[in-house]
Amino acid sequence: MPMYGKARPVEGGLKAKSGGRGSIGEQWWSRRFIDVLESFADRSRLTRGRTYARKGQVMQLRIDAYEVTALVQGSDPEPYEVSIGIDPIQDTVWESIEQALASQAVFRARLLAGEMPPEIEDVFAIFGVSLFPRASTDMHLMCSCPDWGDPCKHTAAVLYLLAEAFDDDPFLILAWHGRTKDDLLAGLRRLEPAEVDPLTIDETPLAERMEDFWAPAVVRDRPPAPPVPPGLLLRLLDPPKVKVRRKNLADVLKPAYEALPSLDQPE
């Protein structure tokens, strides 16, 4: 592995909030992003990337649709340019995702309240889209430094700070996927159940409608709502501060909840 000089100090760089040792990322969505990153990346480069993130070597960080760009100061006089891209989601797929989210009151309510429900991953998966990268091949990592690591320490530093940005605002994850918070919430409000046609009353005199008075009502077909994951309740509620043999109660109950749907199926 090539050796490089010591990184040049940066005035006013972006520093990770977790200034000391320990994990970066507090919310479930940022930890999910970090867990995926640490599952495939080189450990030594990740360690140096965390150090860069905590020292403030990242000078700029910008999140746009399908691309994150940053400047990271290394040992060279000029900062390195970092770009982290993801594949775009087609507009038709986004429309289907928004309709699915709007069709479930729990999703709509939590998103409109500014929260990111864990079940949103399942909704994206229904339409063949992964909310978080599953492997290095799901991201297009580029850095102007001479290190061919995937990711290099400069890109790793940006990824860690990106996770902290997601911590502060989970809607940045969706903005990275091409939908800003305002766009998504406007779409959800537009698709609220208020669109359901109200019951109309025919003012035709009863005497003229006796022949079809007892005819069955016509019910319009509506698209089915996406399936609700078995562990929905466990993930919606705050986990109780109870542990069973050093395991969280929600983790202990999860297999039982996942087995419930199969109990309804005939053998």
Residue 115 CA, distance from chain mean position: 11
Q: How confident is the model at residue 246 (pLDDT cuts 50, 70, 90)?
A: low
Q: Which residues pair with 243 in a beta bridge?
A: 248
pLDDT in tens, 216-244: 544 444 444 445 555 555 554 555 666 66
Q: Indicate the pairing of strand 67-72 with strand 247-248.
A: unpaired
Neighbours of 14 (CB within 10 A): 20
The predicted pLDDT at position 52 comes to: 94
Residue range 23-50: average pLDDT?
Answer: 86
The predicted pLDDT at position 57 comes to: 95
pLDDT in tens, 116-131: 888 898 899 999 999 9
Mean pLDDT, all residues of the chain: 79
What are the b/e assignments for 139-152, b being 16+ CB within 10 Å? bebebbbebebebb
The predicted pLDDT at position 25 comes to: 78
pLDDT in tens, 84-107: 999 999 999 999 999 998 888 888
Q: Which pTM was predicted? A: 0.69
The predicted pLDDT at position 267 comes to: 47
Residue 258 has pLDDT above 80, yes or no: no
